[in-house]
Amino acid sequence: MTLYAAYGTNLDPARMGERCPHSPLNTTGWLEGWRLTFGGEEHGWDGALSTIVQDSFERVYVAVYDVTKEDEVALDGWESADSGLYRKTKVRVSTMTGEQVAWTYVLDAYEGGLPSASYLGVLADAAEAASAPDDYVAALRRRPCRSTGL
């Protein structure tokens, strides 16, 4: 097993249960010194894609999963890591019981662009399903986004 820190749509436990059925939730926590942002608008079918970048003044809520090797391979496919769109990086997760080292996906594209309203809604719903604090979920829902009808 290896630890994976989910920050985007994979925060949703139901989604992770479908994508990684052998990988239980370990805990939740924060990536201190990271910021949720968007980029790679040219790669998304509906606006920019979620990613994280280092930022000393921010933090990102994450769910940490114990991922089996089999589920890691499947997740790489879901997240387009096998095609090079996302790459894996190691991060430190601050949890209620201390720090844990986990891997996560980072978009291999320039930061910038806006996500669609529907994608942003899915991100906020996933954070809510993962018991993210109300102010974190509300901030996601208030983020700028592309209007529909592109």
In this predicted structure, what is the pLDDT of residue 10? 96
> Can 111 be counted among the known catalytic residues?
no
Is 4 annotated in a binding site? The answer is no
Q: Is the pTM of this model over 0.95?
A: no
In this predicted structure, what is the pLDDT of residue 64? 98
In this predicted structure, what is the pLDDT of residue 150? 46
Catalytic residue among 32, 79, 99, 128: 79
Cα 122 from chain centre? 11
In this predicted structure, what is the pLDDT of residue 148? 58
pLDDT < 50 stretches in the chain = 149-150
Domains of the chain in start order, with CATH, are 2-142 (3.10.490.10)
Alpha-carbon separation of residue 48 from 18, 51, 130 (angstroms): 24, 9, 23
In this predicted structure, what is the pLDDT of residue 44? 67
